[in-house]
Amino acid sequence: MCPVWAERGVCGGGWKCKWIKSHMREVDVPSEDQLAEGYRKELQLVVDEEKQKEYLANAGTTGDMKNEISAEVKKFLMHRKFPYEKSDVFLKYLDDASGEKPQKEPINGEEEKKDNNAAYKETPLKPSEKRRLHISANTPLLAPLTTTGNLPFRRLCTTLGASVTYSEMAMSIPLIKGEKSEWALVRAHKSEEHFGVQISAKKPWEALKAAEVLAHYCPSLNLIDMNSGCPIDLVYRSGGGAALLDQQAKLSKMLRGMSYVSGEIPITVKIRTGCTDKYPLAKKLIRRLIDESDVAAITLHGRSRQQRYSREADWGYIAECSSLIKKLKEEKENAMDTSADDKEKSEPRRLVPYFIGNGDCFSHEDYYKAVEECHVDSVLLARGALIKPWVFEEIHAKQYLDKSANERLAMVEQFAKYGLDCWGSDEMGVNNTRRFLCEYLSFTHRYVPVGLLEVLPPRIQDRPPRFRGRNELETLLASDNYRDWVKISEMFLGKVSEDFKFVPKHKSNSYDAVDAEG
């Protein structure tokens, strides 16, 4: 049975669908040959009108997906026809501020009046006036994850309790150019109520123009996040990602400009402790961001760029940064000594950004320890969610959930259905779904059932030996052999060709460093 047709009543794959027999029928039609008599056999696609009506009623006028732009808009961007009015204004301001302004000739009163009218600029929104962020101790966040943080995986995590989701990291220049592959990362499902887009940029004009075009074509975004912590060599050497940690003045200008052009959409930033282990600089950067930029939230990954994902995250340093933010907040409150500031005092969250911790969160114990002892507002979950997607359920329930092998297999099936719904049920869509499903399994196989552990809580850096599960299915799900992952995919996506091979992008089956953004 085609899962897309079963849900929607119609399959977009049409005759190319791998499960075409489930929505195809043979009918008798009058023969078109005048010399021949009777009827001839003909195949027709079947549309279940009742299911289709029900699906459309639930999907609403905008459908299941959001943040989709048309081919015409992409072509419009490709030909550089988008008027970056706000970006141009702020970039001109930066140029003027960096050098001496040219001396103007004296003008009369009437010309001065016209000049002032033309020079009027819309006042930018303060962080407190922008869209409210849904961040609290009760809202665990799913980190932006390259490759693995795709739409089907985010949908799965949303059903399991993820409150805020992020896109995979999108590069600014391809977004500005309207490249199809990059705009595909921005797509989200309507179930992702609080969805943000993470971008990477190395220069102010890239960041500003990407933020402006996102705000224009995706006005429902909950936030736009600047990734200033990406450790990938290609990004770092180009001057983006973690390289911005050593260029704090430029980063501050970029964030301030993004806030200016983004309208109601809040701007957030993700950073690391520093570029090297010996010289942590997050405290200095946080103080500067609070004083100079208009960010609504700061996410700190408790590792340096040099450290990548090896060794444990430094939550002690995250706690120190949290104490610094609390101190800066108190200083701002003490500085507000006028009656006009009473409203701001009653809403202290407007004074400083939200502070989010990131690194090694693998259970509800890790989560609430971070919130209660390190005093972060929330925690961003990355590899913990990849290995154990139901960690969000555990956080809400405040207890360990020993998922059976059948329950875990049901999540795999759900991922496959979401993948076919996203990429289609034709050969290309099935291949895409299978590849990303195997990427998903390359992480989930590392999960060791709670019922088999001798010591709690489990640590994400632990390397357990191979083990035999409580049944054959549990053993299969724990296999680190990619052939077994392909075998699991065949349960829901059909047989693969004999020459099919899968090499996990992140090599998590050997517990290597993960080149993800979380």
Among the listed residues 492, 488, 491, the one whose alpha carbon sits nearest the alpha carbon of residue 480: 488
What is d(CA 232, CA 55) in angstroms, rounded to the nearest whole number? 41
Instruction: Give pairs for 403-407: CB < 8 Å, separation 24+.
Output: 403/449, 404/474, 405/469, 405/470, 405/471, 405/473, 405/474, 405/477, 406/473
SS (H, E, C) 1-57: CCHHHHHHCCCCCHHHCCCHHHHEEEEEEECCCCCCCCEEEEEEECCCHHHHHHHHH
To 10 degrees, the CA torsion angle through 310, 357, 322, 204? 90
Would residue 230 show up in a list of annotated catalytic residues for this protein? yes
Q: ∠ CA 77-78-79 to the nearest 5 degrees?
A: 90
According to DSSP, residue 467 is labeled -
Does residue 381 sit in helix, strand or coil? strand
Q: Tell the residue number behind the tokens 């207890």, with chain if given.
A: 399
- Residue 56: burial class (beta carbons within 10 Å; 0-12, 13-18, 19+): middle
Per the listing, tokens 């809400």 go with 396
- The single residue of 2, 17, 230, 321 carrying the catalytic annotation is 230
Site of tokens 């972060």: 376
Alpha-carbon separation of residue 272 from 213, 227, 426 (angstroms): 27, 10, 41
Catalytic residues: 230
